[in-house]
Structure 1
Amino acid sequence: MSASERSHELARTAAQAAADKKAHDIVIIDVADQLVITDAFVLASAPNERQVIAIVDAIEEQLLNLPEKAKPVRREGERSGRWVLLDYVDIVVHVQHDEEREFYALDKLWKDCPTIPFVDRDLAAAETGSGE
């Protein structure tokens, strides 16, 4: 059973909030068939600790602004700013410093799971605008 529509909405909203704060290598992985504790992982990277924290703050703000407000039940790693985990039950968001992302390679660990498509709306708008 793949991730629910609610999980897709939360994941895409979190991914867009990360993209808005210049996160890179944003991936949404559907782990619903492999884990019973969550439906999807959102992975995002940043080059420094300050940006990691800014991305995390933006994600929390955007998910709280949804009609069905979403608040993390757990938040870990904020103090160091190297890898922050936000647990929303339906999704788990991992915002990692580039070095942690490369070292822990969650993308490779979960490579057998399908991804949920995500396209940064600003990037898509720029590509469509340049073709006119």
Structure 2
Amino acid sequence: MTITDTVHAELRTAAAAASEKLATDIVGLDVGERLGITEAFLVCSAPTDRQIDAIVDEVEFRIKTEHGSQPLRREGRESGTWVLLDYGHMVVHVQHEEERVLYGLDRLYADVDHVDLGLPAVSAPEASQEPGEGSAEA
């Protein structure tokens, strides 16, 4: 992994903030060697424009208060379907679920290392149960 400890800490803070606002499919990517202009991407999704706004607001707030960093650029806030926060050393992408599938950043950077974001692992959905299985009946 080529990202610095500072970037790793900010990436983890951004991921935690996104998670608290119910972002889905949160992924950290070490893109430094591949791109050379930034060290890492955080990519996450949300189903609505309103939730995307909430995630972006929380990420910006937490990064500023905990690390003193502010984005150099913000893109896409008006569209509400893909907001990009460029901090220079990292870029946060908050995408509508459909935009994420369409543009495929995950596929485009499939060959780079993933960054441990310190988030709890998401468990697979439980196998469907027959009615009455596993439930307490009176």
Structure-2-length-normalised TM-score: 0.84
SS of 2:92's partner is: strand
Identity of aligned residues (%): 47
- Partner residue in 2 for 1:78: 77
Alignment: residue pair count: 123
Unaligned segments of structure 1, at least 5 residues: 124-132
Greater than 4 Å deviation, 4+ residue runs:
none
- Partner residue in 1 for 2:102: 103
Question: How far is 1:36 from its partner?
Answer: 1.4
1:52-63 to structure 2, matched below 5 A, reads 52-63=52-63
Question: How far is 1:102 from its partner?
Answer: 0.6
What is the RMSD of the two structures over their aligned residues, measured on CA atoms?
1.7
- Partner residue in 2 for 1:69: 68
Unaligned segments of structure 2, at least 5 residues: 123-138
- Partner residue in 2 for 1:35: 35
Distance 1:5 1:119, change over 3 A: closer
| Amino acid paired to 2:58 | A
Question: How far is 1:9 from its partner?
Answer: 0.8
Which has the greater radius of gyration? Answer: 2
> In 1, distance between residues paired with 2:121 and 2:50?
22
Question: How far is 1:118 from its partner?
Answer: 2.0
> In 2, distance between residues paired with 1:118 and 1:10?
10
Distance 1:65 1:8, change over 3 A: same
- Partner residue in 2 for 1:126: none
